[in-house]
Amino acid sequence: MHEKLKGIETTRGQFAREIDAVDSPGGLEQLRVRYLGRKGLIANLFKQIGGLDPEIRGEFGKALNAFKQEATERVERAERELAERETLAGVDPTLPPRPRNQGAYHPLTLVEREVKRIFSKMGFAIVRGPEIEDVWHNFDALNTPHWHPSRDDTDTLYIEGDDNLLLRTETSPVQIRTMQRQKPPIRIVAPGRVFRNDKPDPTHSPMFTQVEGLYVDRGVTFADLKGTVLQFYRHLLGWRISTRFRPHFFPFTEPSAEVDVSCPFCAGSGCRICKQSGWIEVGGSGMVDPNVLEIVDIDPEIYTGWAFGLGIERMAMLLYGVDDIRLFYENDIRFLAQFGGRR
């Protein structure tokens, strides 16, 4: 072997011994500069090429390039190994990994899914509509008079610059849209977010989730409404539940009634949750006003119907014993993780 080639091999062996002994990033950097720096040993060997005899010059250059490539790769590999060693410092690699937090459904989603499941089994279709509505669908078509306080901007959130558009105050407009495009029999529930100009407190929120139901057909009676509502709440809250209907007023139903359920926590005997009354108010209901049917070109002399509504947050507060509606919207993982509902 030519003397110059032996010099490359000697330097290569020296490099291999030194890099095997490196045990810190600082030592590795010194080694890199010593061999691969602009004034390092390999750079000095390249300077010798010009003075070599032509018959050895090509072989010398090829061997030197191979050494430089090998040295570069060894330095890069050593950098990765030292970084991994520092990362694992003080860590026992035989320990099991930390459990990863698993996503779960929001409690309001869980309740809404259960409400939809119950009504789907009872033959109701699930229908949705736009959250930005016009005044006609949200008020006029629902028989709401112009003087009604719900039309005021103190109650309703109107779209700035357009008094004809608003954030819907209930999902009842979905019922109107359904009756416009579909003739009886109609059996639907309409879940979705609704908006009111309310100041947040433990029982009020400017945004909440509502589910409204509608059934229109020949011969539909208030007895059908009472039977359906009773069966729904028994499926949701338990078979010991009873319901009662109290006279009320809603512009779009006549007669109208508030619905109460017997307190599921004390079986109607009276407790803190039901304020010792034995009953909890859960929503409104009533027979669809004939004026509403006429507005959507359904003959009230032939068809009758009923409608009802409930709040998902209200149901979730009852089912889970939550006393502040704001907790559902604060996104505190400690609160939300209590409800399970794994995906």
Query: Domain holding 206: CATH number?
Result: 3.30.930.10
Supply the pLDDT for residue 57. Answer: 83
Residue 36 and residue 178 in one domain: no
For the stretch 216-268, pLDDT in tens is 999 999 999 999 999 999 999 989 899 999 999 999 999 999 999 998 888 77
Tokens of 178: 């359904």
Asked if 177 and 41 sit in the same domain, the reply is no
Average pLDDT, the chain: 90
pLDDT for 3 equals 77
Which residue range(s) make up the domain with 149?
107-339
Q: What is the pLDDT of residue 244?
A: 96
Asked if residues 83 and 28 have their Cβ atoms less than 8 Å apart, the reply is: no
Distance separating alpha carbons of residues 340 and 267, to the nearest angstrom: 26
In a domain, 92, yes or no: no
pLDDT of residue 342: 46
Is 139 in contact with 257 (CB distance < 8 Å)?
A: no
Could you report the per-residue pLDDT of 30-63, keeping only the tens digit for each? 998 988 888 888 888 888 888 888 888 888 888 8
Cα dihedral: 236, 242, 247, 249 (round 10): 0
233, 243 Cβ separation under 8 angstroms: yes
Q: Using a CB cutoff of 8 Å and minimum separation of 24, what contacts does 77-83 make? A: 78/19, 78/22, 78/28, 79/25, 79/28, 82/22, 82/24, 82/25, 82/28, 83/25
Q: Flag residues of the chain having pLDDT under 70.
A: 1, 88-91, 341-343
Please report whether residue 102 resides in a domain: no
Judgement on whether residues 266 and 309 belong to the same structural domain of the protein: yes
What's the confidence (pLDDT) of residue 131? 97
Same domain membership, residue 64 and residue 161: no
Residue 343 confidence (pLDDT): 43
Tell whether 40 and 131 lie within a shared domain: no
Number of domains making up the chain: 2
- Which pLDDT does position 60 carry in this prediction? 82
The 125-126 sheet, strands edge to edge = 125-126, 186-195, 207-217, 304-311, 279-288, 253-262, 243-250
Instruction: State which of 35, 56, 87 marks the end of a domain.
Output: 87
* Whether residues 151 and 221 fall in one domain: yes
**Domain contains 83:** yes
